[in-house]
Structure 1
Amino acid sequence: MADIQSKHGIGVSPGTAVGPVVQVRPPVRPPADEAPAADMAEAGARVRAVLESVAATLEERAAGADATAQQILTATAMMARDPGLAGAVDTQLAAGRGPATAVDAAVEEYCAMFAAAGGYLAERVTDLRDVRDRAVARVLGVPEPGVPHLSEPSVLAAHDLAPAETSVLDPATVLAILTESGGPTSHTAILAAQMGIPAVVQLPGAVDIPAGTRVAVDGGTGEVVLEPDEGLQHELAAKAERRAVALSATKGPGMTSDQHPVALLANIGRLEDAVRAAAEDVEGVGLFRTEFLFLERDTAPTVEEQTQTYTAVLEAFGSRRVVVRTLDAGADKPLAFADLGPEENPALGRRGLRMSALRPDLLDTQLQALAAAARATGADIRVMAPMVATADEAAWFARRVREHGLPSVGVMIEVPAAALRSRHVMAEVDFASLGTNDLAQYALAADRLQGELADLLDPWQPGLLDLVAAACEGGRVHGKPVGVCGEAAGDPLLALVLAGLGVSSLSMAPSRVPAVRLALSLHELAVCASLAERARGARSAEEARAVVAELAHPDLLAIL
């Protein structure tokens, strides 16, 4: 879609669309001259009532949302009810600020703490600011920010889009989403991909596109064209039709055109995700994120609670594999019942397996529940640990898993040292799965939650591909499989490179499986290996993707 009126961002949800732009209402700011509260007690009670009303609204939206959005909205409602936030507002009121200004300042204090903590907490900054924006508007008695009524199918443009807004979008009226901020792992990206809405993030000037401007959006390439001519509109419509026809024809196990298997699996987080994914044409689960059983609780879940959930997930998938990641929590995903205290850099701190080493009781309880669920179902369950850095850590984890009678044990390779020394790590376990999001973050020294660094976090970075190759080489030495469960797995072109590097399974959002299945089916394994070599030989992520796109099968390029 090359054009002098084109803009370029990061495509995070594939698909194409053409339609008029509707600007999302921006948040209202507190008046610069807002008078101090005349009665601090009355003002504090009023703000608490507003925060409770915001929480109630979020819960109402959660009740009608899918499982992923429900989880995000419920957690955001809990933020609005946090007594600490209300207390921070009281402090601001006592300092002489008006109610709206007090809410704004209190939330920004929390946002600064969350951003500094990194990881899971940093991901919640957008949600917390959504609470602020809604509360400030209600305190001032003005319309809240958000998506206006759409009189026709439209393209939404915003600085950012809160999960509370994204979760209730109707794909019949929202043709595409454009935001100036965000990244490939943002809530907007995840929810848009699940709903099949094309989305482009990190698009400069998205909020400056005049309302009503007709735009052509490519959620795969990240290109947006203003006022496209009829020729381009017809081209995109034809591409969308080709894509729908091609993807509807794909089915069955993933494999290359010469029958080399590459299992296509789903990422899940909750039981509801499992039920929905199990109904799709996937070969099982490549990543079951179990931390959602533990977060936002005052006490650890019991063996019985965990067993019930794990059993239900395993039953949903029958004989298909389910790869379970043990608790990935710590300073960046704080647990009220396992507080290890503050850390200077939580992303490099006591998280994942390191937390399990400090609190082995939590790990043993989880393994006991997983073993009970496995016995009850006879399922193909495989258990892996997050944040493994050394062969000794892998051996420690493998020993504990096998002591509980679980037959298959693996590790997440998301630390560069584990990838570089995978020959030793893989000697201790049965399989590994590459977490490309964290692996890119640590390899490129770029916070994966900072959208401005998205170019460094591009999974096409040749340096990252070298680490994937090193990890796969360790698997080959021992004849053990290495999969990928990061965002990279859902990119059809990159899937070819990963297969060529030796990756044996790809785990992603179920909506991305058909395109990846099609990509593999059009290429022999030798071709994938050649593409992988060319990508690793590139100087940049852009060059790596371009060379693979140039050599890939025309039938695949016709729908991307």
Structure 2
Amino acid sequence: MQLRGTGVGGGIAVGTVVRMSDPLPEPPDRPSGLTPEAELERARTSLAATAADLAERGREAGGAAKDVLEAHALMAADPSLATEVETRVRSGSTAERAVFDAFVGYRDMLAGMGGYLAERAADLDDVSQRVRAHLAGVQAPGVPAPGHPFVLVARDLSPADTATLDLEQVQALVTAEGGPTSHTAILAREKSIVAVVGVAQALSLSDGDLVVVDAGSDTVIASPDPEELAEAERRIGARAARAEAPIEPGRLSDGTPVPLLANLGSADGAAEAVRLGAEGVGLFRTEFLFLDADRAPTVDEQRSEYVRLLSAFPGRKVVVRVLDAGADKPLAFVNDDVEPNPALGLRGIRALRVAEAVLRDQLTALAQADAETEAELQVMAPMIATVEETGFFVGLARELGVGVAGVMVETPSAALIADRVLAIADFASIGTNDLTQYTMAADRLLGSVASLQDPWHPAVLRLIGEVGDAGAKAGRPVGICGEAAADPLLALVLVGLGATSLSMSPSAIADVRASLLEFDRADVASLARTALAADGAAEARAAVRAAADALRAGAELGSLNHAE
């Protein structure tokens, strides 16, 4: 039986299924047998213990998981929730029921607000489960530990679960929910875990079932036959060999260079990115300097971090994105207004213009760090939508000593006028996550529309092609720094649409490099046309996969004929 979903990366794994345990049931609504003070002490103890546990998990996990887990810890420690729990306990509820009702009430309130806040409502369920498990003295629902390697099958995984997976035991992930930019997909990609998400029939799998999880073909094969198992083992071996092969610069088979760069969230990952073959940095997110602070960091505080990053890449390109505040990264010292739809509000360059002093300090720090190091610094602004915004940022960057200033193309408007934007900016970098969100009118953080958050959609690809064409005509580089670049098959299409570099999680570089080496410029241009001709994301992916297989088969036949 073959089940279909969305693969994360190009990996493949074989293993036996272990199902994620079911959530705790709703606690009974009955009077407490303890005094309110005793129940309240139980609730306070469990809330505090859960907050501390989540914070510790975040510190251990690091990377993209750290911010998410720390946000969950703050939920458990939220004073307003604690007040709600206390009110319910003093009205006679047990601690378990009080926690359940308080979290449900808060969750429903957030769900009614829509957008990013609605997505955070689901996170509250996970925190509630953990608090109630602590109260009951049982293990929190989460990743099982059967004592042997296994394929984990779940409805979905919370960030807390994904962040602490035992990579020695978990061979692959299969989830019934989620999309290519869900927490599970992003963290699986970061940890280089084979995963297929959004598998509608995933919960039909049972403990002990043997499966082949093939992210490269978006499938899960249940009870594979001997031929399918042999092919999977062959591909696993070939992928391992690619990972151990000597590192070379990214290129197509005809020698066309396609630099493969790393997406980094702090300088801590620089050494590992270089080890995995990153030729530089295509997206350095600077938010880590700002998110845990009640004030903007000083020029000196920022400069030291930027020097640490740039020093790891002497002579190589390092693209730094200035602060992308707003939406899912609100900062009081940038914009403390409550917005009903923050994804469409003051975020990115809009927020920075309101707090221009923050932007000036950051550009000054970057210019100083550039002067002290030997990397090729490039700086870009997020969420550009107009030519005027482009001119503002590029002019200010040059005024403050930044030599190369570009823009992120994340809005359809910027893509549609890319020729005019690139007449001013030195380069463009396409953020496919947000470009997909705004093109498809589908919140990238909202699980209910995850199926629409797919960069394979021809509407998204057409916009990418507009930017690629504009870059070629203007002689400006066009990079890709969204999650799409980490897909070995989609990477071919992106290069065919005019991308001149690809930036991704470092763990994806080996697979993308190998994929590029199979095709030349004419091939990837043909694959791009195939994708654009499709009606939807699934159709585009399937058509390009079939066309790529046909090109491979033709190349093999040509090699055999030549040998004869």
Give me the TM-score of the superposition, normalised by structure 2: 0.92
Q: Is the 8 A contact 1:22 1:155 kept in 2?
A: yes
Corresponding residue for residue 286 of structure 2 = 290
Moved more, 543-552 or 435-444: 543-552
Contact 2:364/2:401 (<8 A) preserved: no
Q: Is the 8 A contact 2:116 2:445 kept in 1?
A: no
In the other structure, the counterpart of 2:76 is: 80
Q: What is the one-letter code of the residue matched to 1:282?
A: A
Match of 2:325 among 323, 329, 334: 329
Is 1:133 the counterpart of 2:129? The answer is yes
- Whole-Å separation in 1 of the counterparts to 2:529 and 2:221: 33
Hey, what's the Cα distance between the residues in 1 that align with 2:325 and 2:131? Answer: 30
Preserved CA contact (<8 Å) 2:10 2:488? no
Partner of 1:485: 481
What's the offset of the Cα at 1:127?
4.3
Instruction: Render the CA deviation track for 1:23-61: whole Å, top value 9, x for unaligned.
Output: 122221332324358544443332221122112223443
Q: Are the structure 2 counterparts of residues 337 and 554 from structure 1 closer, same or farther at C-alpha, using a change threshold of 3 Å?
A: same
Q: Which residue of 2 aligns with 1:433?
A: 429
Secondary structure of 1:170's counterpart equals coil
Deviation of 1:116 (Å): 5.9
Task: Give the superposition deviation at 1:161.
Answer: 1.6
Conservation of the 8 A alpha-carbon contact between 1:198 and 1:219: yes
Return closer, same or farther for 1:554/1:174 CA change in 2, 3 Å cut-off.
farther
1:457 equivalenced with 2:468 (yes/no): no
Measured against aligned partners, the alpha-carbon deviations of 1:163-222 in whole angstroms (never above 9, x if no partner) come to: 222222223311111112222222222222233221111122433422222222112223
CA distance in 2, matches of 1:308, 1:117: 40
Unaligned runs of 5+ in 2: 555-564
Distance 1:427 1:434, change over 3 A: same
User: Would you say 1:12 and 2:8 are equivalent positions?
Assistant: yes
State the partner residue of 2:308. Answer: 312
State the distance in 2 between where 1:477 and 1:77 align. Answer: 49
CA shift, 1:314, in A, is 0.9
Identity across the alignment (%): 47
Distance 1:84 1:488, change over 3 A: same
Distance verdict in 2 for CA 1:470–1:47, change over 3 Å: same
Give the drift of 1:485: 0.7
1:7-31: CA deviation from partner (whole Å, max 9, x where unpaired): 2222124322222211122221332
**Counterpart residue number, 2:472:** 476
Deviation at 1:63, TM superposition (A): 4.4
Q: 1:59 to 1:540 in 2, by over 3 A?
A: closer
Q: Which residue of 1 aligns with 2:352?
A: 356
2:221 is the alignment partner of 1:225: yes
The secondary structure found in structure 2 opposite 1:507 is strand
CA offsets, 1:318-337, max 9 Å, x none? Answer: 22111111111124321133
The match for 1:164 among 153, 160, 165 is 160
- Whether the 8 Å CA contact 1:13–1:189 is kept in 2: the answer is no
Among 406, 416, 429, the alignment partner of 2:402 is 406
Alignment map for 1:110-509 (pairs within 5 Å): 110-112=106-108, 124-249=120-245, 251-509=247-505
Tell me the CA shift for residue 97 of structure 1: 3.9
Alignment of 1:58-97 (within 5 A): 58-94=54-90, 97=93
Structure 1 position 388, deviation (Å)? 0.6
Aligned residue pairs total 554
Deviations 1:366-405 (CA, angstroms, capped at 9, x unpaired): 1121112112214211111111100001101111111110
Deviation at 1:233, TM superposition (A): 1.6
CA distance in structure 2 between the aligned counterparts of 1:467 and 1:129, rounded to whole angstroms: 37
Do the aligned partners of 1:475 and 1:481 also contact (CA within 8 Å) in 2?
Answer: yes
User: 2: distance between equivalents of 1:114 and 1:385?
Assistant: 30
Q: Distance in 1 between matches of 2:346 and 2:104?
A: 26
C-alpha distance 279-127 of structure 1, shift in aligned 2 (>3 A): farther
TM-score scaled by length of structure 1: 0.92
**Cα distance in 1 between the residues matched to 2:508 and 2:551:** 17
- Inter-CA distance 361–481: structure 2 relative to 1 (3 Å threshold): same
SS across alignment from 1:424: helix
**Residues 156 and 504 of structure 1: CA distance in aligned 2, closer, same or farther (over 3 Å):** same
1:99 paired residue among 90, 95, 102: 95
> Alpha carbons of 1:303 and 1:536: their partners in 2 closer, same or farther (altered >3 Å)?
same
Q: CA deviation at 1:123?
A: 5.7
Looking at structure 1, the residues matched to 418 and 118 of structure 2 have their Cα atoms a distance apart, in angstroms, of 30
What is the Cα deviation at residue 281 of structure 1? 1.0
TM-aligned CA deviation for residue 431 of structure 1: 0.4
Contact 2:13 / 2:232 at 8 angstroms: preserved in 1? Answer: yes
Q: Distance in 2 between matches of 1:361 and 1:7?
A: 53
